[in-house]
């Protein structure tokens, strides 16, 4: 395997990290003490890779992450955040924004310029109470966030934010740079604009979606670019199974998707493999993937994720998924 993986810029990323979107009250509010305790519990059980963003609760996730980690030796963990949105105080800001509830009283404005990226990182450091982060990602510069304006925003990010992050990396402000997006095609296109250490790719290389397998992942292996998998549960359905309330890619799951997950659950039952264990462990088999970072809301959820990462999954389970055409035949498996 080329030098990239898990040792990019000497970061030593572990295969299992902590995704900070739930700390911003994604879909439902979390008690402040429970949120901080979840991060501290993650550290206690050995996690050393933590991700957050200004977008998550309009700064709330960064505040909580910083509160939880500030007492830990700074060189003992890897911390990432994102640029591309600036937060501005507004007393009339709605408490529910972009799927987050009970957000802090700020409104966000997209800014993918170089100056915007530097300002964003500085503001994040204030919220975190830290002197540095290890990884900085350009966040959501694709059509999910911008619709028809996506191409313009992508160009703005490639001309502005990404080169500025490269300068900050050269200055030693950050150790690694990349993109945090929901579409593998955006990652592929970004590779033409300079060296990228990492992509944080949400939902596009999972038990349900291997669309990144053909083109992006081989490119990343060849270029020494690592992939961090966010959203390994595809926003919920791979965590709770084929239930009426299940969401897939942040929307209610379609009947077709519910049926597919139900079929996977049948195979899981035959092999006594929890669905969530399969979802967490599957992406790590690909040599481009350096880590998977599920979110957690409570210390109990952290413990549950940690146990699932270690749950035995027999080779016969993966073979049956492929035989039933529930998993691509060419997908590497643990």
Catalytically active residues, by annotation: 51, 56, 82
Written in H, E and C, the secondary structure of 243-276 is CCCCEECCEECCHHHHHHHHHHHHHHHHHCCCHH
End-to-end CA distance of the chain: 15
Q: How far apart are CA 270 and CA 266, in angstroms?
A: 6
Q: Could you tell me how many residues make up the chain? A: 334
User: Is the distance from CB of 21 to CB of 295 less than 8 angstroms?
Assistant: yes
> Going along the chain, which residue ranges are E strands?
18-19, 49-51, 78-83, 85-89, 106-110, 135-139, 176-181, 198-202, 226-230, 247-248, 251-252, 289-292
Which positions ≥6 away from 307 have C-beta within 8 Å? none
């Amino acid at each position: 395997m080329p030098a990239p993986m898990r040792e990019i810029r000497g970061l030593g990323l572990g295969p299992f990290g902590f995704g900070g979107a739930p700390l911003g009250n994604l879909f439902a509010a979390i008690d402040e003490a429970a949120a901080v305790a979840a991060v501290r519990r993650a550290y206690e059980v050995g996690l050393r890779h933590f991700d957050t963003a200004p977008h998550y609760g309009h700064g709330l996730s960064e505040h909580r992450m910083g509160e939880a980690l500030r007492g830990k030796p700074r060189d003992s963990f890897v911390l990432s955040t994102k640029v591309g949105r600036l937060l501005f105080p507004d007393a009339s800001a709605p408490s529910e924004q972009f799927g987050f509830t009970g957000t802090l009283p700020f409104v966000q404005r997209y800014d993918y310029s170089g100056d915007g990226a530097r300002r964003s990182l500085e503001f994040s450091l204030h919220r975190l109470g830290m002197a540095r982060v290890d990884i900085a990602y350009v966040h959501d510069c694709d059509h999910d966030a911008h619709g028809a304006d996506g191409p313009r925003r992508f160009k703005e990010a490639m001309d502005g934010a990404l080169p500025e992050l490269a300068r900050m990396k050269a200055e030693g402000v950050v150790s690694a740079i990349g993109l945090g997006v929901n579409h593998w095609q955006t990652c592929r296109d970004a590779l033409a604009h300079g060296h990228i250490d990492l992509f944080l790719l949400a939902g596009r290389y999972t038990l349900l979606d291997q669309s990144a397998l053909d083109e992006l992942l081989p490119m990343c292996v060849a270029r020494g670019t690592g992939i961090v998998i966010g959203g390994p549960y595809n926003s919920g359905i791979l965590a709770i199974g084929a239930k009426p309330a299940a969401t897939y890619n942040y929307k209610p799951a379609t009947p077709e998707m519910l049926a597919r997950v139900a079929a996977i659950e049948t195979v899981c039952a035959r092999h006594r493999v929890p669905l969530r264990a399969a979802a967490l462990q599957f992406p790590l088999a690909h040599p481009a993937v350096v880590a998977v970072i599920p979110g957690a809301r409570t210390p109990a959820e952290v413990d549950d994720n940690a146990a699932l990462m270690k749950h035995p999954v027999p080779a016969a389970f993966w073979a049956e998924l492929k035989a039933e055409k529930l998993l691509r035949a060419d997908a590497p498996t643990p």
